[in-house]
Amino acid sequence: MTIEPNVQVALISAGGTITVALVGVLVELVRRQGRAISEVREHTEEARHQVANTHETNLRDDVDRVLDGMERLLDGQARHDEALSRHGEEIGAVRRDIAHERAERLAVAERLDNHLTATN
């Protein structure tokens, strides 16, 4: 079976057109994939820079040290709160003692005034 030359030319042209279209689509897909890979690479470099340990100590050790310090700080704060509460109680007791002494002094002054008035 022979294909007429006009049909051969049409088939070759159609095949070429389809090939060019497929190559164009593939090129666009490769371009998009290249852009996506570039974005991922940029984000990866940025993330790596953000978590890179650029100092001499290990980050986990640093965090553990900070957490230990916070625990000691909170323990100290609890002891401070207890001491402050005791001081408040002691100040209350001193105020009660002073109020009692004041009442006794006023009672003595009143008795003395009454005695002086009665003797004059």
Would you say residue 61 lies in a domain?
Answer: no
Sign of CA dihedral 95, 100, 102, 103: positive
Domain match, 88 and 120 both: yes
Would you say residue 25 lies in a domain?
Answer: yes
pTM (two decimals): 0.42
Domain match, 2 and 43 both: yes
Would you say residue 62 lies in a domain?
Answer: no
Domain match, 120 and 76 both: yes
Tell me what percent of the residues of the chain surpass a pLDDT of 90: 57
Would you say residue 60 lies in a domain?
Answer: no
Q: Which residues contact 3 (CB under 8 A, 6 or more apart)?
A: 11
User: Could you tell me the residue range of the domain that residue 112 belongs to?
Assistant: 72-120
Tell whether the model's pLDDT for residue 73 goes beyond 70: yes
Question: Across the chain, what does the average pLDDT equal?
Answer: 88
